[in-house]
Every structure is written in structure tokens, then in C-alpha cells.
A and B are shown apart, each in its own frame.
Chain A
Amino acid sequence: MRSLRLRLFATLLAATGIVWLAAVIWIYVGSRGEVEQVLDTRLQEAARMVASLASSFENLPGKSAPAAIAQLGSYERQLSCQIWSLDGRMVAKSSGAPDQQLSSASSGFSDRTIDGETWRVYSVEDADHNVRVMVGDRLSLRERLVTDLIKGLMLPALLIAPLLGAAIWASVGQGLRPLRRMAQDLVERGPDDMRQVEADQAPIEVRPLAAALNGLLGRVEAARRHEREVTAFAAHELRTPLAGLKTQAQVALAAKDPKVVRGALEQIIAAVDKSTRLVRQLLTIAKLDADVADAPRSRVEVGPMLAEIVADTPRHEGTVVTIEASARDMILDTNAECLQLALRNLHENAVQHTRDGRIVWAAWANSLLVEDEGPGIPSDELDKLGNRFFRGRLRSPIGSGLGLAIVKLALGKIGADVTISNRTGRSGARSELTFRVRT
């Protein structure tokens, strides 16, 4: 049964029905015994009464006194009475009593079927007066008595049951109303509406659902906000160089002064170089994103790799790069391509942010770290660093906001982590790479 309301309704109704039925059976069995006992006692008393009455009439067996016997007719409906002489002649009987002897037993209780009807009979023998009194009642009457009692119980039950059902149906519906209201609220919402669902008035049972839903809404909203931010940053980083290119091209076309034309053309070349770098980084990210296979590992010497990267990367004249022996001698079992991507981007970052100062590569245990003497990173931006296209306040002019995203992706491929922090006690950033396996 899919409907909660229907299920609750059926369960409650069935339970009520069973309780009622059990009560009826209990009362039926119990009252049946009770009725039997009471009626048997009545038979007994009636028989004794008739016997004592009969003994007060002298010569009763000889005379007939039907009128007197007929006085007993007040029991006619339920009780039948016969008076027999001990030699088997019927002396008297109540009206409605059968002509046949009610019982073959001489005294005590007995059951007998006469003309298809079962009688319960009590017999009393009075040898002194030569009479036997038999008082009986029909079992069907007794049954009817019990049946009437049960009917009296069942009738109100049958009347009340629909009322009870309606009450249950309505109260379950009332209980489920907050759920319907919640659903209605959600149905009516626009796709951007991430307001929390109101759960204050919901029943306690529904609250966990509302809380879970609110949790989900919160997470979806955060994900959407993040996505919007990334999209906005991406649009800015991709369109600004294009705007620069177009503007410089239009300046080159419109300017008459050859110096201005030349300046604009040089700017166009610079813009193309910057865009080329951006495209290269985007392709790198796309490749890292698409590559799901585990990067193949090999023995990688960090020293030569760093030396090559340092030699390849142009830097300010006043900047000195040092690769300490610990880093030079480091050997890792990892994927060379991913490691090189990470190291190259970190080194480029360090170089871009250091004008005159030292950049130091060093290693300890299974960590490799680089420290620069640039301005460092504003602390509120630290947790946004790996976001694609995010460029902080202290951005470098040629950055695209993709370098650290590439570092994180590449390191993720080889099971390594990067922690970026500000140096303590002096300005500069510190990036620490932690590798899980070192050979």
C-alpha cells in the first residue's frame, strides 16, 4: 500500500475491528455460560415450585385440574411444564407444552429433541404424591437470548465504525497537511529559489525530512554560487584579453601617428602571447580532467626536473633561485608529467610574484616545498586559491587564475597534496607538496 493515509486508515480500522470482535467473542462465550446457569436454576426452581404446588392438590392423579395447571401459563412463552403420574399418565401440562414426555430421565437435568426442537428439561419426582414434574425450555430460545445480547453489542459497533473511520481518515489527513504544504511550497518555487523549507509547524516526524531537504538546498545553493563565481571569473579572464586585442587593433587602424600604431601592434603581440598561455593552460586542465586512467609511475629525479624548469622560466633580474641539496637529491616514484606540471606552475607563480628576492626549493621527509619573497597571499583568499580563474588582489599581470588549479589537479592524479600558506615572520608564500610514497 503506497498511501500512508490509506495504510494508517486500514491499520487503525482493522485494529479497532479486532478489538471489538474479541470483545464480542469474549462476551458471547462468557454470557452463554452465565445464561445457561441462570436459566438452569430457573428451570430447577420452577420444577420444584410446580411439584410443591402439585402436592398441595390431594388426589391429583385422579382428578383433572387443568385450569389450575394452566395458571402456570405465565411461563408459557419460555417455559413448558408437564406433570406426569409415576405410572406414565400425563396429569397436566402448560399450554404450548408438547404432548410427548419432555424427558425420559426420572429426575435432574436432561436434553431431548421433540419434533425437531431441543429442550432443556429439569425433572422432579415426588413419590409420595405419585407425580413427576418436568419443566423445560427450548434451547433455541436460549440461543436467541444470547444472540440478542450480541446483537445489542454489535449494532452500535456497526453504527460507530463508519464514524470512527471518518474520524481516523480526517485526522490522518490533518496530520499529513504540513507535508502537503511543504510539497506545494516546493512545487511553486522557481528554479533559483533556494530558500529553506519552513519546518517549524511540521510534526516532529516530518522535521527530519525538512531538515534533510534544507541541508540539500544549502549544498545545492553553495554549489551553484561556486559555479556562478567560476563562470563569472572565467568569462572575465577569457573576454578581457579579447577586448584588449580588439581595442588595440582598432587603435592601430585608426591612429595616424606611426608611434601609436607601432605601440598598438606590440600590445597585440603581447595580448596574443598572454592568450596563448591561457589556451595552453585550458588545454592542460581539459586533458587532466579527461584523463581518468591512473598516471603511470616511474622513478623521477626531482633535481634535474627542477633545474630544467628554473632554466626555462624567465625571471626578474634581481630574483635568485636556489635548489637546496635536499630537493636536488629527492627521488620519487611517481608520474613525471604530472609532477612537472605541478612544479612548473608553482615555480612560475613564485617567479611572477617575486621581483627582487630569493626563491628556495627544499625537501624534507616526503615533502617538497618552495618559498618565495613576494607579497604573500591575503589570508581571506587562501581557501579560494585552487578555484579556477580565481585571481587574488595581488595578482600578477600575466596570470590567468588557472595555475594553482592545474597544480591541484596534477597532484591529485599522483596522490599528492599541496598546502599553500604565508611564510611566518616575513612576507612571501610557501607551497608544500606532500607525497604519500617515497622511494
Chain B
Amino acid sequence: MRILVVEDDPILSNGLRAGLALSGATVDAVESCEDADAAIASARYSAIVLDVMLPDGSGLDLLRNLRNRGDATPVLLLTARDSVVDKVCGLDSGADDYLAKPFDLDELAARLRAIVRREGGRAAPSLTHGAIVLSPADFSATVDGKPINLSRREFAILSALMERPEQVRSRSELEDRLYGWQEDIESNAVEVHIHNLRAKIGKDAIQTLRGVGYRMGAAR
């Protein structure tokens, strides 16, 4: 999951970055509506965590513009106001979920997983492809019911592929999922992770389409 955090308070923003990284997400953080628009234009995010009150405007306006452009990226609003009217207003502006400050980090992570999952058209909390089952909530993976140990990045690549098993994901698409802006991308990182994944879940589990990208192999 690659998450964009739009929050101007440096301490909270830092905490969200560290906290969401702990639950396996790649996080970019911006402080203003303007920077958020630039970030959304340059990368595809699984979800956006959006503060309502930003220095250069309202997060709600940003959200409405986003929806008017036809962008369906799931958005979770963070706000200090938790009256019913504010919640209704936030949800009606196109938000998928709503949390009032101060919130619980685990709850935030769970809600993000839920809205990302729903956006992908799934209701079940885990990803299943044949014998492979991924559970993003606790970061666990099993093959034929036997637990296997995946690194954070291996998990991210496998879940990206399993979200739409028949769709081909390009290398840069996968890199987008793995790295935030601050991180340097190692040139053959994706190949290395795929190689390691095949060793753990089976050689035919992931297909390589040369020059195009990767997708899941036939379900066993």
C-alpha cells in the first residue's frame, strides 16, 4: 500500500509516516493542498489520509476537486471536528472514511486497509489466489495453509499482484508501491524481490512477461 498523508502538523505527520510504515505501507507526506495536488498528479496512491484544515485551504475542497476530476482514490479524512454535521459534510464531499483527532494508529491502519480493499472491489479482508493467502491486517502469508515468512517489500509486491491476479503490473508500477519519494530505488530491486518470492511460494506462482511486467501464474 502506498499512502499519501496530507497533514501540516510536523509531529503528527512524522508519527503517521512511521506508524503506517510499521503496518507495511509506503508513505509520502505533504503539508499543503498545493503539494498534495502535485503528489496526486505524479503518483498513484492506494489511499490518501487527509487533514481537513490545511494552511492553504480546506481539505474538503481538495477532496471535492479530486472527485470532480474523476479520481476515485480512497480518502480517509482526519479532523478535529467530530460532530455529526461535520462527518456528514466530509462523507458527502467524497470521503470514504472519517477519523477524529486524536485517533488510534491501529484503527487508522485498519480503516485504510478496509477502504483500499473495497476500492479493489473485495469484501474479504484477505487476498487469496489458489493456495496462496495474504492477510494484510497482520502481514501474514500462507501457502497450502503453511505460514511463510515475507519481508515488507516482498509482501507489498505480492499483494499488488494478487489484488488483480490477471492484470499485468509493470516494473515501475511495482516500484511506485515500494518506494516513497525519499527512498532511493535500487535498479534491480523488483527483480530481486520477485526472485525471492518465487523461492518462497513456488516457481510458477508469478509469471514474467518480458518487456511488459509481471502477473500471477495460474491458480493452483
Write the residues of chain A forming the contact surface with B, with a CB cutoff of 8 angstroms.
232-233, 235-248, 250-251, 254-255, 260, 263-264, 267, 270-271, 274, 391-395, 397
Contacts and interface: CB of A to CB of B under 8 A. Distances in A.
B131 interface: no
Determine the main DSSP class of B at the interface with A: mixed
8 contacts: A240-B101, A246-B104, A246-B105, A247-B12, A247-B16, A248-B15, A250-B106, A264-B18
Q: Which 8 A-B pairs have the closest CB atoms?
A: A247-B15, A244-B12, A244-B11, A243-B101, A243-B102, A235-B80, A239-B80, A250-B105
B56 interface: yes
A274 B81 CA distance: 21
Contacts of A244: 9, 11-12, 14-15
Interface string B85-123: 000000000000000111111100000000000000000
Interface in B102-155: 102-106
Given A243-B9, A243-B101, A247-B16, 4 more contacts: A232-B80, A240-B101, A254-B19, A264-B15
Which of A243, A251, A260, A270 has the most CB atoms of chain B within a 10 A radius of its CB?
Answer: A243
B174 to A, nearest CB: 24
A345 to B, nearest CB: 20
Interface in B59-100: 78-81, 100
Interface of B: 8-12, 14-16, 18-19, 22, 32, 51-53, 55-56, 78-81, 100-106
A393 B57 CA distance: 8
Contact of A394 (B16, B55, B100, B101): B55
Contacts of A260: 18, 22
A380 to B, nearest CB: 12
B19 A251 contact: yes
A237 B81 CA distance: 11
Contacts of A236: 52-53, 79-81
B53 to A, nearest CB: 5
A50 B7 CA distance: 127
Given A392-B55, A393-B55, A248 B101 contact: no
Nearest to B16: A247
Contacts of B16: 247
Highest count of chain A CB atoms <10 Å: which of B22, B52, B80: B80
B25 to A, nearest CB: 13
A240 B105 contact: no
A255 B78 CA distance: 23
Contacts of A233: 53
B22 A254 contact: yes
A240 B10 contact: no
Contacts of A270: 11
B18 A255 contact: yes
A263 B19 CA distance: 12
A233 B54 CA distance: 11
A281 to B, nearest CB: 17
A395 to B, nearest CB: 5
A248 B11 contact: yes
Contact of B9 (A241, A246, A251, A392): A241
A130 to B, nearest CB: 120
Contacts of A391: 55
Contacts of A250: 15, 19, 104-106
A185 B56 CA distance: 40
Contacts of A247: 12, 15-16, 19, 102-103, 105
Contact of B11 (A271, A393, A395): A271
Given A232-B81, A235-B80, A267 B105 contact: no
- For B14, B18, B52, which residue has the most chain A Cβ atoms within 10 angstroms? B18
A246 B102 contact: yes
A395 B54 CA distance: 10
Nearest to B85: A192
Nearest to A254: B22
Contacts of A393: 32, 55-56
A274 B12 CA distance: 12
Contacts of A237: 80
Of A235, A240, A270, A393, most B-chain CB atoms within 10 Å: A240
Contact of A251 (B79, B102, B105): B105
A232 B53 contact: yes
Nearest to A391: B55
B12 A243 contact: yes
Contacts of B12: 240-241, 243-244, 247
Contacts of B11: 241, 244-245, 248, 267, 270-271, 274
A263 B55 CA distance: 26
B103 A246 contact: yes
Given A248-B11, A394-B55, A235 B81 contact: yes
A287 B11 CA distance: 29
Contacts of A394: 55
Nearest to B21: A260
A233 B55 CA distance: 11
Given A232-B81, A250-B19, A254-B22, A267 B14 contact: yes
A242 B56 contact: no
A4 B22 CA distance: 76
Question: Of A237, A239, A254, which is in contact with the most chain B CB atoms at under 10 Å from its CB?
Answer: A239
A355 to B, nearest CB: 16
A399 to B, nearest CB: 10
A248 B103 contact: no
A242 B55 CA distance: 19
Q: Among A235, A247, A263, find the residue whose CB has the most chain B CB atoms closer than 10 A.
A: A247
B127 to A, nearest CB: 23
Given A232-B81, A251-B15, A240 B9 contact: yes
B102 A255 contact: no
Contact of B102 (A242, A263, A397): A242
Contacts of B32: 393
